[in-house]
A and B are shown apart, each in its own frame.
Chain A
Amino acid sequence: MSETLLELKDLSVRYTTDGIISRAVNHVNLKLNKGEVLGLVGETGAGKTTTALSLLSLLPKYTSEVEGEILFQGKDLLKLDEKEIRKIRGRHISMIFQDPMTSLNPVFRIGEQIADVIRIHNEGIHPQEVSDRVDSILSMVGIPTSRKREFPHQFSGGMKQRVMIAIAIACNPDLLIADEPTTALDVTIQAQVIKMMRNLQRELHSSVILITHDLGIVANFCDKVAIMYAGEIIEYGTLEEIFDKSRPHHPYTKGLFGSIPNINEKTDRLHPIFGLTPHPSELPSGCKFHPRCPQCMEVCKEGNVPVYYEGDYKCQCWLLAGKEAAV
């Protein structure tokens, strides 16, 4: 059951533009088991999307530098060449992007766009089989098969996102990366899409990495949660561990929960995190969160921050450091 599908070991990504170095992802360690749904939570500039793009080697070649290991089914993806990685993309790992409006090619019929992916990864497949598979995938994502001859502009935002998902799951990938799949959609449509994705995930038993800033969606969909801040995973655990308010947490996680207006609670004022997310080109020393942290101590300002482990749960913070064996 708990077979490891993906493991990131000390993954770092740096961008260089105009001589300025941006450290977008810093020493990320992460494990994802088969059939698991991981929520990657963080704000703009936290390195969520960069992490996801590095899995598919989709980062801009000349301006980015990747270090560490990305073990996917035991193979290090960073050591593969372009041809080998193309076989993995779409077939084993596929991605859903945030904006369904611009991710579809406006001049091809949607059935054709889905069929394309199937044909690329199954050379010499019979046309009839392709069309059968397109039909079955469309019905899986809840689009009437009669609409496969329509063009993207004839679809609404929610329907387009379903098409994107159909393309992503066309080859039954082992890992699906969804980058803010519902941010551009209305709430009622978002609920539909999330429900559909959850059902699909159960049916196909694929692993999912869901990138989002919305803790509500995470609570609805994910098994594991990783909170990212300034390119680091500062807290990781099961959904219950992260959302359990009685446990000690990273101050940033607490801040995130405090900033969301909760529909079930009545408060007069929200509790924002003060200050701003640092730009990846000018990260503070010590704990990256210390300039904004309400519980900042002297030790936080310099040096490495210890990681507190408890089984699979981990949290990178000095506050929890004394509690158990720190590394």
Chain B
Amino acid sequence: MAKISASEKAAKKSSLKRNSQGREVWRRLRGRKLAMISLGAVIFVVLIAVIADFVYPYKTWAIEQQASLKLLKPFQDWSHWLGCDHLGRDMGARIFHGTRVALLIGIGSTFLALFLGTVLACICALYGGKADLIIMRIIDILSSVPHIIISLAICSGLGNGIWQLVTAITIGGISIHTRMVRSVAISVAQMEYVESSMALGGSAGHIMFKHLIPNIMSIIIIQGASNIAGNILIVATLSFIGLGIKPPRPEWGSMLNEGLTYMMRYPFMVFVPGIALVFTSLSINTFGDCLRDAFDPQLKGKA
């Protein structure tokens, strides 16, 4: 063996460093400007939610009101740079704390719905037959009731609050996720490596966590990323019609609702929460799209 061929060299290199999919996806993401910008925006939003308590301590800034600051316009007083609302509460503080609520519910409900949906989908794919039939019929029933109505029912039954909202949105989301993940999980479950694992004596749990989930993870991540923004909008919608978060807890939807009355003379009252909402959902959605392209470059431009 005088010479080592290039393929052997490549093999040698890769035996040192694992070419995992995560690395590959990150490499593709880094190559796209839009992906980096939207990722930056997402990080920015998350950062705001994290620092909200330090910048604007909740009690003093968001709840306490100062009558003298009523309807203060933005950029006039730099300690209240986003202005104050009709009760004299600082808009910036409310937006920051609103971000926290929005992300908490958006991410929380997406995560829960995806988790439950994935478990159900994997059960369908692995056991098939009756289990599949029963789960899918329940999902059919769930999905035939409009999302908003489920949320309405839960909120009116359990009252307003973050956890009630998360529950409501999660239940609405399960059906979509189960269907989506199930179709992919079934095709993975039919692969011979799953059969081989059965032949080796692997239990259902082993197959689910070692083979099924790692192979559908990319779908789950993509699905999740694009779902968060949608859920944030649902929270805002519910709060806007008075079913979501109860004031005085700041929430973008309810802020929009309050601003409605003053919209003609003080348009900043709707613009500020509106822009926050659009910015957040746009950056999360864009990043979700970029993530999908990075996971599956062949799909780019299609679908």
Asked whether the complex places CB atoms of A and B closer than 8 A, the reply is yes
B5 — which chain A residues lie within 8 A by C-beta?
A: 278, 282, 284, 291
Q: For the complex, would chain A's binding face be called helix, strand, loop or mixed by DSSP majority?
A: loop
Among B2, B5, B7, max chain A CB count under 10 A is at B5
Q: 1/0 per position for B18-47, CB-CB distance to A under 8 A? A: 000000000000000000000000000000
Q: What residue in chain A is nearest B10 (Cβ atoms)?
A: A282
Find residues 2-20 in chain B having any chain A CB closer than 8 Å to their own CB. 2, 5-7
Name the distance in Å between B12's Cβ and chain A's nearest Cβ.
Answer: 14
CA distance A282 to B7 in the complex (A): 7
Residues in B with CB closer than 8 Å to A279 are 7
**Min C-beta distance of B24 to chain A, whole Å:** 12
* Chain B residues with CB under 8 A of A291: 5
- A278 to B7 CA separation, bound complex (whole angstroms): 8
Q: In the complex, A230 Cα to B6 Cα: how many Å?
A: 15
Report how far A301 CA is from B3 CA in the complex, Å: 10
Q: Determine how close the nearest CB of chain A comes to the CB of B222; give it in whole angstroms.
A: 23
- Could you tell me the distance in whole angstroms from the C-beta of B220 to the nearest C-beta in chain A? 27
Question: Chain B residues near A284 (CB, 8 Å)?
Answer: 5
Considering the chains assembled together, what is the distance between the CA atoms of A279 and B6 in angstroms? 10
For residue B6, which residue of chain A has the nearest CB? A282
How far apart are the CA atoms of A15 and B267 in the complex, in Å? 59
Q: Which residue of B lies closest to A282 (CB)?
A: B6
The number of chain A residues with a CB under 8 A from chain B is 6
In the complex, the chain B residue whose C-beta lies closest to that of A281 is B6
Q: Report the bound CA distance from A217 to B7 in whole Å.
A: 33
**What chain B residues lie within 8 Å of A301 (beta carbons)?**
2
Number of A-B contacts (CB under 8 A): 9
Q: Within the complex, what minimum Cβ distance (angstroms) separates A232 from chain B?
A: 17
A307 to B105, CA, bound (A): 74
* Contact residues in A for B2 (Cβ distance below 8 Å): 301
What is the bound-complex CA distance between A42 and B6, given in angstroms? 22
Report A268-289 CB contacts with B as 1/0, cut-off 8 Å: 0000000000110010100000
- Complex Cα distance A229/B6, Å? 18
Residues of A near B6 (CB, < 8 A) are 282
Interface 1/0 per residue, B237-271 and A, CB below 8 Å: 00000000000000000000000000000000000
Q: Write out the residue numbers on chain B whose beta carbons fall within 8 Å of the beta carbon of A278.
A: 5, 7
Shortest Cβ distance from A279 into B: residue: B7
Mask: chain B, 119-143; 1 = CB below 8 Å from A; 0 = not: 0000000000000000000000000
Q: In whole Å, how far is A279's beta carbon from the nearest beta carbon of chain B?
A: 6
- Among A278, A282, A284, the one with the most B-chain Cβ atoms within 10 Å of its Cβ is A282
User: Distance (Å) between the CB of B181 and the closest chain A CB?
Assistant: 27
Closest partner residue, chain B, to A275 (CB atom): B5
A112 → chain B closest CB, angstroms: 28
Q: How far is the CA of A301 from the CA of B2 in the complex (A)?
A: 10
What 0/1 pattern do residues 217 to 245 of B give for CB contact below 8 A with A?
00000000000000000000000000000
A284's nearest neighbour on chain B, judged by CB, is B5
CB A274 to nearest CB in B, in angstroms, measures 12
Distance between Cα atoms of A205 and B6 in the complex (Å): 46
Chain B nearest CB from A230 CB (Å) reads 12
CB distance from A21 to the nearest CB of B (A): 12
Q: How far is the CA of A301 from the CA of B5 in the complex (A)?
A: 13
Q: Mark A292-305, 1 if CB is under 8 A from B, else 0.
A: 00000000010000
Q: How far is the CB of B142 from chain A (nearest CB, A)?
A: 34
Cβ of B31 to closest chain A Cβ, rounded Å: 11
Q: Which residues of B contact A282 (CB under 8 A)?
A: 5-7
Closest residue of chain A to B1 (Cβ to Cβ) is A291
Closest chain B CB from A299 CB (angstroms)? 14
Segment 92-140 of B: residues with Cβ below 8 Å from A: none
A282–B9 alpha-carbon span in the complex (Å): 11
- Assembled-state Cα–Cα distance A278/B5 (Å): 9
CA distance A279 to B8 in the complex (A): 11
Assembled-state Cα–Cα distance A291/B2 (Å)? 10
Q: Which B residue sits closest to A285, measured CB to CB?
A: B3
Nearest chain A residue, comparing its CB with the CB of B9: A282
Min Cβ gap A18→B in Å is 10
Q: Roughly how many angstroms separate A249 CA and B170 CA in the complex, as a whole number?
A: 71
CB distance from B285 to the nearest CB of A (A): 28
Residues on the A chain within 8 Å of B7, using CB: 278-279, 282
Q: Separation in Å of the B290 CB from the closest CB of chain A? A: 19
Interface residues of A in 204-262 (CB under 8 A from B): none
**B55: min CB distance to chain A, Å:** 45
A277 to chain B, nearest CB (A): 11
CA distance A218 to B77 in the complex (A): 89
Distance to closest chain A CB from B10 (angstroms): 8
Give Cα distance in the complex from A48 to B94, angstroms: 68
The CA of A282 and the CA of B2, in the complex, are separated in Å by: 17
A282–B6 CA distance with the chains assembled, in angstroms: 6
CA distance A59 to B44 in the complex (A): 46
A229 to chain B, nearest CB (A): 16
* A and B contact pairs by CB, cutoff 8 A, 9 listed: A278-B5, A278-B7, A279-B7, A282-B5, A282-B6, A282-B7, A284-B5, A291-B5, A301-B2
Q: Which residues of B contact A (CB under 8 A)?
A: 2, 5-7
Which residues of A are at the interface with B, using a C-beta cutoff of 8 A?
A: 278-279, 282, 284, 291, 301
Extra inter-chain contacts (4) besides given A278-B5, A284-B5, A301-B2, CB under 8 Å: A278-B7, A282-B5, A282-B6, A291-B5
> Would you list the 4 A-B pairs with minimal beta carbon distance, nearest first?
A282-B6, A282-B7, A279-B7, A284-B5
